Structure 1
Amino acid sequence: MRKPELEFHEPPADWQKTNGDAERGIWEQILAADPLSGDSTLLQRYEPGADTIASGVIVHDYWEEVIILSGELTDVTLGKTFTPGMYACRPPGMPHGPYRSGGGCSMLVIVRPESEPSM
């Protein structure tokens, strides 16, 4: 199965909190997803003052691409703040974060599970 075929439309208005109480103030809206592979495209929103500091450094077992659409996001470990138009491409196992956003931000996130190389 693949992500569904979707022409331009208003995404559903249902935003969900991410990762429980440790990341209070962080929301996501799934735009398209393949439930079998885990391949997904979503919007992620940090409310002003939201952070992931309590969760520590983040490491995934999937590819993640992120572009900041609005606001600002600070990587606490790097001591750097990222702004609209900045892009990240993270392979499985790449450490990043934790993050905080003083004024809030919104991002487009693409998640793609690592697949076995084809021969």
Structure 2
Amino acid sequence: MSLKQKEFTTPPPHPPVGTPLHCPSALPWYSIAPGVWEFMLNGTEEEKAVLQWWEPNTLSAQTDQITHTYIEEVCTLRGGLEDLSLKQSWGIGAYAYRYPGMEHGPYKAAKEGCLQFVKIMPAK
């Protein structure tokens, strides 16, 4: 991972609800799906640490369960997500470590939205 030494005490505020995709005023946040935004903390597209913001009541773009080829580590910092397949809600402090191929989601954000720390690592 190409990491850079970096520190801050307050991340930039996430975009307001309803901000259009690819809106220059949202930077340094960028949209990864309608209503879902990321702020790159460190790394590259293949191996990264991000803050991920889901706008209130946002449904994941995938309507089926999600799988991926990388390792994903997630910790919920604010709000929550409901896993619609499991019918289980994940709130503040919830943590997941997912191997490649693990089925999860689709998701719906809580009424207050969801802020998560997400780390993506290639499978070894």
1:102 and 2:110 matched: yes
What is the match of residue 65 of structure 2?
57
Q: Where in structure 2 are the equivalents of 1:73-92 lying within 5 Å?
A: 73-92=81-100
Measured after TM superposition, the shift of residue 3 of structure 1 is 1.3
Which among 38, 57, 76 is matched to residue 68 of structure 1? 76
What is the match of residue 29 of structure 1?
39
Measured after TM superposition, the shift of residue 9 of structure 1 is 6.1
- Root-mean-square deviation (CA, aligned residues, Å) is 1.9
What is the match of residue 6 of structure 1?
6
Length-normalised TM-score, structure 1 = 0.82
The one-letter amino acid of 1:26's match is: V
Measured after TM superposition, the shift of residue 54 of structure 1 is 4.2
Deviations 1:67-101 (A, max 9, x none): 00000110000000011001000011111000001
What is the match of residue 16 of structure 1?
30
SS of equivalent residue, structure 1 residue 18: strand
| In structure 2, distance between residues paired with 1:55 and 1:18 | 16
| In structure 2, distance between residues paired with 1:2 and 1:78 | 36
Which shows bigger deviation, 103-112 or 6-15?
A: 6-15
The one-letter amino acid of 1:111's match is: I
Unaligned ranges ≥5, structure 2: 13-26
Measured after TM superposition, the shift of residue 48 of structure 1 is 0.6
Measured after TM superposition, the shift of residue 17 of structure 1 is 0.9
Measured after TM superposition, the shift of residue 7 of structure 1 is 3.5
* Large movers: runs of 4+ above 6 Å: none
| In structure 1, distance between residues paired with 2:10 and 2:92 | 22
Unaligned ranges ≥5, structure 1: none
| In structure 1, distance between residues paired with 2:2 and 2:62 | 34
Measured after TM superposition, the shift of residue 42 of structure 1 is 0.1
SS of equivalent residue, structure 2 residue 103: coil
| In structure 1, distance between residues paired with 2:66 and 2:93 | 22
Deviations 1:35-69 (A, max 9, x none): 5xx21000001101101154421111000000000
